[in-house]
């Protein structure tokens, strides 16, 4: 079984403030994992540590074969190419089309062959069922459509792991279901998806491993979802 995330006795800091301590976690290919807990419980901070937006200070951590303890600044872009990051607030470039948003990422991550670029653009837009929207501007799309484009952007470099931070937080329940189906489909294709949320209503319809964040640490819930 291929382990994509391995954390051992990790502490997470925001500047000098301790956010999480004694974090031990392994996540393997094909898994769908929820990070759950109240706002401020450390879900986003742990995600930021995983994609090297926060420094490693205590413990041992590796992600997609990168040792975070030894990661150099110049290696961070290469680490992030193996990850797909999905934000709650989309972070699309509003002054360019859907296709140009994706092209921007491709050029920034080293794509040069026009034929391969066009082929990959078509593939990821088909994957998220947005193949007719490439010419649209972001403001012409609904929130759910924008989030689908964000997921397409995250998939461009065929990442081993998707990190999704509250991806349904700004969406209505029906739209959220479509996004969740898409994320679970991605996990089942051999990648892994880690999703931070505080929407407990998703768990019954979209089951997954549940890691609970509270009191500055994490615990794994074993098949018992606390609705609250």
The full set of domains in the chain, from first to last, is 32-55+70-221 (3.40.50.300)
Tens digits of residue pLDDT in 164-203: 999 998 888 889 999 999 999 999 888 999 999 988 888 8
| pTM score, whole prediction | 0.90
Tens digits of residue pLDDT in 95-136: 999 999 999 999 888 899 999 999 999 999 999 999 999 999
- Contact yes or no for 192/27 (Cβ under 8 A): yes
C-beta neighbour count of 56 within 10 angstroms: 19
């Amino acid at each position: 079984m291929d382990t994509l995330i391995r954390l051992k006795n990790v502490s997470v800091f925001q500047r000098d403030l301790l956010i999480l301590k004694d974090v031990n976690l392994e996540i393997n290919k094909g898994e769908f994992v929820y990070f759950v807990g109240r706002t401020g419980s450390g879900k986003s901070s742990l995600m930021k540590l995983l994609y090297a937006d926060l420094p490693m200070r205590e413990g041992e951590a590796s992600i997609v074969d990168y040792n975070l303890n030894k990661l150099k600044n110049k290696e961070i872009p290469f680490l992030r190419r193996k990850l797909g990051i999905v934000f709650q607030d989309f972070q699309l470039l509003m002054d360019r089309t859907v296709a140009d948003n994706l092209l921007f990422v491709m050029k920034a991550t080293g794509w040069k062959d026009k034929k391969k670029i066009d082929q990959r653009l078509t593939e990821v837009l088909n994957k998220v069922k947005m193949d007719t929207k490439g010419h649209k501007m972001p403001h012409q799309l609904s929130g759910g459509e924008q989030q689908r484009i964000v997921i397409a952007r995250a998939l461009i470099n065929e990442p081993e792991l998707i990190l999704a931070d509250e991806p349904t937080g700004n969406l209505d329940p029906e739209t959220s279901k479509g996004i969740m189906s898409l994320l679970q489909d991605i996990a089942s294709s051999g990648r892994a998806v880690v999703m931070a949320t505080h929407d407990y209503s998703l768990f019954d319809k979209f089951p997954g491993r549940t890691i609970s964040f509270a009191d500055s640490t994490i615990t794994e819930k074993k098949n018992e979802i606390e609705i609250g």
